[in-house]
Amino acid sequence: MKNNVKKKEKVVLAYSGGLDTTTLIPWLIENFNYEVICVCIDLGQEEELNGLEKRAKSCGASKLYIVNAVDELCNDYILPCIQAGAVYENKYLLGTSMARPLIAKILVDIAKKEKAVAICHGATGKGNDQIRFELGIKALSPHMKVIAPWRMTDVWTMKSREDEISYCKKHGIKLNFSDKTSYSRDRNIWHISHEGLELEKVENAPNYKNLLVLTTPPEKAPNKETLLTIEYKQGVPIKLNGKNMKLSDIIKKLNKLGGQNGIGIVDIVENRVVGMKSRGVYETPGGTILYEAQHQLEELILDRQTLEFKQHVAIKLSQVVYEGKWFSPLRYALSEFVKYTQKYMTGVVKLKLYKGNIIKAGTSSPYSLYNESLSSFTTGDLYDHNDASGFINLYGLPEKVRAMVKANEF
């Protein structure tokens, strides 16, 4: 006798093990009768991955994928942003923004493999992540259905983290956090972000005692300097303190050293894509060091016009990445420009870390445009001081003519 029981449709859930995605498993089963396949992308969350499979299945998921994508994140997403010097609104080093398109890519790959009818994410209707996830999915699988519960207010009746905690308790799900002590966090190898609790009132100082995970407050950092040497080859960090290391290991080590020295704490009120302002605290110790090292090498090697234009590219790229348009033609084009500028970005950067500060300790490169003979106050063979007179006369001609017109001297 044939079994005529219809198979459940599958949904792929972007799963972190946090409150939102823990709540979503029983909610998807209860409201849509889906078979829930959880996908957790390992981007360097470390201990946050512990016990995920047991947690997911105890909540009703049929399967959990844990995909290690740390090196792909570092090499294909983080590195182009470091090389560009992309920083959103002068402070945010794009830790979450860079990771979301990669997560979308992997979700699409597994959804296709599992023949799922939809992809579900737990991003809220007020945030940026809903845009980043869904633009990535649209770019890679334009016909894939997306379920965004926080926007489905006719079915999703929860309005706060407290409501989610209550829902989980009613469904017999044990939680290891509470609404009183739990920030909304996102962590990967590059950074950790914190939102919620006292941070929602901009007049409050962050409670760093409870908040910080990667970083020591600068005032509690050691009373001695930490010396670093980073070696680059064509824009890629290849050695840390003389030791060959892949980029992900360099970031991990710099996170540790930078964190110990109070590097990379940012408290920012940023402009979200959806139009509102939001406040968050970001810890990016290793990333802050790498951005500074990149800058110090480039100021030695790039000519003035290229460096100036590259600063415009950095601003635009940061906006494109922040807005979730990683797979757009503009992002590819901007990254190609940046890639060309890295051709001669080879050299050694020395830095000192001290109580939240990154101090320049010397930079060298075989492609340096700095020439001691030219730059020295001592007269050298390559520069004739008399040449400056003609240059100044021509360079200042517009100012001179304007002044003469105002004085009616023509």
Catalytic residues: 20, 100, 129, 184
Q: What phi and psi, each to the nearest 5 degrees, are found at residue 237? A: -65, 125
DSSP 159: -
CB–CB of 390/381 below 8 Å?
no
- Please tell me whether residue 351 adopts helix, strand or coil conformation: strand
The residue assigned the tokens 């003389």 is: 242
Give the torsion sign (CA, 127, 133, 134, 135): positive
The angle at the Cα of 368, spanning 365 to 374, to the nearest 5 degrees, equals 135
Rg (CA), the chain: 26
Q: How far apart are the first and last CA of the chain?
A: 106
Q: What distance in Å separates the CA atoms of residue 133 and residue 119, rounded to the nearest whole number?
A: 10
Please list the residues that pair with 11 across neighbouring strands.
36, 118
Q: What distance in Å separates the CA atoms of residue 10 and residue 108, rounded to the nearest whole number?
A: 13
Q: How many angstroms separate the Cα of 70 from the Cα of each of 221, 338, 341? A: 28, 22, 25
> Within 115-261, where are the H helices?
129-140, 161-170, 208-211, 247-260
The pair of three-digit structure tokens given for residue 17, joined into one six-digit string: 């093990």
Angle between helices 304-322 and 329-341 (to 10 degrees): 150
Helices and strands per DSSP (H, E), number in the chain? 15, 14
Residues shown for the chain: 410
CB–CB of 293/317 below 8 Å?
no
The residue assigned the tokens 């509690």 is: 220
Give the CA-trace dihedral at 275, 314, 77, 148, to 10 degrees.
Answer: 10
- Please tell me whether residue 88 adopts helix, strand or coil conformation: strand
